[in-house]
Structure 1
Amino acid sequence: MGKLTTHVLDTANGRPGAGIKVELFALAGDTRRALKTTRTNHDGRCDEPLLEGDALVAGEYELVFGAGDYFASLGTKLPEPRFVDRVVLRFGVADANAHYHVPLLVSPFSYSTYRGS
């Protein structure tokens, strides 16, 4: 059974990104459909998969992370406008029976991702 998961690591402070808003969208051409909104837990992970089973289908998706609001909530001095604010990750799911883990490593001035396990 396939599933989609994520987690966030705060590389500026060396800890999980707790309490970050995560939005998930399905993409089809120019259409963007909201699927789920959640927040990361104390470990920087979501409490349950974003999608799993029949809900995960092959196609294109977008994750949007509220990184700027997270760093502001910590009292981090940020420029205005913020250099990194809403991090948008677009990715494809080719095999709906596989586990797609899409982590975010983020700081106020950079971010990266990869397909994890």
Structure 2
Amino acid sequence: MSHAPDDANLQAASARCLRQLGEHAEARRILEAILQRQPDQFAAVLGMAELLRSGGEPAAAIPFYRRAVADDHQQALLLSATLLTLAAAGRAIAPAHLPPDAGVGHLRIAIA
């Protein structure tokens, strides 16, 4: 990170590596710092969701997954992670009303 101290994507990747190494507190510190500067930074939002989920806080992860899923460009990639997190948190899910010809890009879920 010393080569690109302002690169939020690189910092989020570093946080992901730290999370995978079990350094959750340091990963969280990095992600919170990114989100303080750039609240909608996708890699940090998703990173925080994954950190919370893997740290045993699936209910706390849900708002971050919601924010990430709101990005239509990333929605299809995040749907499975969102559903797994909702299930782990014991939350009900239901398909929202969709026209019969709606594609994945129009997929929405209602979170109870």
More helix by share: 2
TM bracket, shorter-chain basis: under 0.3
Which structure has the bigger radius of gyration?
A: 2
Q: Please, what TM-score do these two structures have when normalized by structure 1?
A: 0.23
TM-score, L = length of structure 2: 0.24
Higher RCO, 1 or 2 (CA under 8 Å, sep at least 6)? 1
